[in-house]
Amino acid sequence: MLSIDLSGKVAIVTGGNRGIGFGISETLAEAGAAVVVVSRHAECQAAAAALGKQYGTRCHGFAADISQPAEIASMMEKVDQAYGRVDIMVHNAGIAVRAPAFEITVEAWDTVLNTNLRGAFFCAQEAAKRMRNQGGGAIINVGSVHAKTAMRLYAHYGASKAGISQLTRVLALEWGELGIRVNCVAPGSVPTDINREVLAIPENRQRNIAKTVLKRLGTPRDIAGAVAFLASDLSAYVTGETLYVDGGWTIS
């Protein structure tokens, strides 16, 4: 029976303690990977402990604000000390702030772009430094349908996610000869803390469901399955791609 086996692999998941991120962390741990759960909050340690206990893998939780490159570097040094390698880097941490374009401040713009896009680059850069010395690895960025579909009130968020798709392609081009694959998973509408208030409004929820071909919202495990595929040898000839996991949102 064909299955995904990540035994012996070390995976880092930013924003990995809740929502889509926890779904990814859990799926990678279930596939046998040792998972480093990264979050700005100390609760990442409890999430990692729970995963290690449930799936019998060696998991750690390291607190880091990935909008700050210095904190990314410090977190990666902890990973070096704990594991000595990085095989899978998943940049999932993200911020979404709804605001009309006229009302977006410099501070709001920087907050969103520094976490969503700058954080993606420096996480990838730090991981790739390790991967090139060990013969390769897989980097997966979590993007969004906002990269392809324009939506009101999301100018800065949409720009950050579109940037992630292009960043994915450029890094895949530069690092392919090192055996490093770089791909992106772009979720559709998945209820998490980042959008729970918006989707709590019935008309918003129904509008999002109506936009999908499959006529349902997504789940964290829907997204996590695609990430696990891109992290595994089943996707060994895939790089530079953005995989839309959106129930058909972007084709309707």
Distance between CA atoms of residues 66 and 101, nearest Å: 25
Question: Within a domain: residue 184?
Answer: yes
Question: Within a domain: residue 38?
Answer: yes
**What integer is the mean pLDDT of 199-228?**
94
Provide the pLDDT for residue 200: 85
Contact 14, 92 (CB under 8 A): yes
Query: What residue numbers bound the domain in which 31 lies?
Result: 10-251
Which pLDDT tens digit goes with each residue over 13-55? 999 999 999 999 999 999 999 999 999 988 999 999 999 999 9
Cα angle at 161 between 155 and 163, to 5 degrees? 100
Question: Within a domain: residue 163?
Answer: yes
Structure tokens at 129: 């430094």
Domain holding 79: CATH number? 3.40.50.720
Q: Which residue has the higher pLDDT, 90 or 192?
A: 90
Sign of CA dihedral 216, 220, 225, 229: positive
Q: Is 244 one of the catalytic residues?
A: no
- Find the catalytic residue in 55, 83, 154, 157: 157
Provide the pLDDT for residue 46: 96
Domain count, the chain: 1
Provide the pLDDT for residue 2: 78
pTM of the model: 0.96
Question: Within a domain: residue 60?
Answer: yes
Is residue 194 predicted with pLDDT exceeding 90? no
Is residue 1 predicted with pLDDT exceeding 80? no
Sign of CA dihedral 102, 201, 151, 227: positive
Confidence of residue 192 (pLDDT cuts 50, 70, 90): confident
Distance between CA atoms of residues 198 and 182, nearest Å: 31
Provide the pLDDT for residue 195: 81
Close Cβ partners of 164 (under 8 Å, ≥ 6 residues apart): 91, 116, 117, 120, 141, 142, 143, 147, 184
Question: Within a domain: residue 3?
Answer: no
Which pLDDT tens digit goes with each residue over 216-226? 999 999 999 99
Question: Within a domain: residue 94?
Answer: yes
Question: Within a domain: residue 4?
Answer: no
Distance between CA atoms of residues 175 and 59, nearest Å: 27
Which pLDDT tens digit goes with each residue over 70-113? 999 999 999 999 999 999 999 999 999 899 999 999 999 999 99
Question: Within a domain: residue 124?
Answer: yes
- When the pLDDT of each residue in the chain is averaged and rounded to a whole number, the result is 96
Close Cβ partners of 122 (under 8 Å, ≥ 6 residues apart): 66, 69, 72, 73
C-alpha dihedral (32, 36, 39, 40), degrees to nearest 10: 170
Provide the pLDDT for residue 196: 79
